[in-house]
Amino acid sequence: MPGTIKQIAQMAGVSRGTVDRVLNKRGRVDSQVALRVEQIAEELGYLTRTQRKAGARQGLSGLGCQKRIGVVTQLSGASFMIEVRRGIEEIARKLAFQGIDVVLKECPDVDKDMQLKRIDELVEEGIDGLAIMPVDCAAIALRLNQLIREKGIPVITFNTDIVGVEKTAFVGLDNRKSGRAAAGLLAMMMQGKGSVLGIVGNFSNSAGMQRIDGFTEELKKSFPGMTLIGIQPSSDRTAQVASIITQTLSAFPDLGGILQISGGQAGIRQAFAELDGRLRPHVVMYDATPKNAALLKEGMADFIIDQDGYTQGYRTISLLADKLRWDREPDKEYMYTDINIRTRYTC
């Protein structure tokens, strides 16, 4: 027997009204609560009235719905992808019992040619929907719009977004807003004065550049006493992060802060080992991975801004599954995950 709203409410620790709002898209609910309710509903096999009617029209009971969702990522070796992948794998296991296959194609770098190849592989294998962390370029946008317009394949972007694509939705961090939050955190520690270094993975990663945009906007607006002396690409490599910081400290010994957006965060530890007793710059970085949490606990950084990669992976596939099974649209185009700020005491 499928679960009931009462059972879902008890397991989620919320009211039946909250469950009803989440499952029937009738009002705003905290994103973490909504995700928990959706997960429990899926585990119990609960179907809303709309879903039951849609299934009856299509001759489906859930298990008979044979669909395939393709997933294309980038930066597969980056630490933040651990949580993204965990979310994808968990929802994939649940959907497998409902007749929906999830096929993951990973790209190790921000490489448009590799990403185009992965998209073509999925299309050749046959997919009904596509979830993608897109490289923001004209070639990817053109290919995605072809899938949407000519093949009727719905596309949801996650983690990174792309302009000019008729996507169903985006799931991920409000990167520009998180960049403004990073500026506020550094300004608080630096008392609104001093020089700051920004480190990104590479300039073709739209998420990283949006964070830099938000950061610089907030500095200009609220903290004119702070100066961004440069933005350096690290290719997400530890050695390169260490080299950038060491060289910058040599040229700017009074460097007050570092905004670390790229991977290779362990390079911070390597660079600070050469400070010879001098006070280190304040550091704000991204993604609450175990290695980054260790940097906080060692006193090598001050704050982590976490983008909730698990929710990005899980919810993106869940939304596509709803679109394919029930033709249910997301309740909004941009579904932002929470901006979680961690300290050494909360990691």
**pLDDT by 10-residue block (mean), the chain, 347 residues:** 74 84 75 81 70 48 70 89 94 90 93 96 96 95 97 96 94 96 98 97 87 97 96 94 96 96 93 89 95 95 95 96 91 92 92
Q: Where are the extended beta strands (E) located within the chain? A: 67-72, 100-105, 129-132, 155-158, 169-173, 194-200, 226-233, 257-260, 282-286, 303-306, 334-337, 340-342
* Closest of 339, 264, 343, 267 to residue 299, by C-alpha: 343
Contact status, residue 337 vs residue 173, Cβ threshold 8 Å:
yes
Give the per-residue pLDDT at 278: 85
Contact status, residue 217 vs residue 180, Cβ threshold 8 Å:
yes
Distance CA 167, CA 144 (A): 8
Give the per-residue pLDDT at 326: 87
pTM: 0.78
Give the per-residue pLDDT at 47: 66
**Which residues are paired to 199 by β-bridges?**
232, 260
Give the per-residue pLDDT at 73: 96
Contact status, residue 297 vs residue 224, Cβ threshold 8 Å:
no
Distance CA 287, CA 304 (A): 6
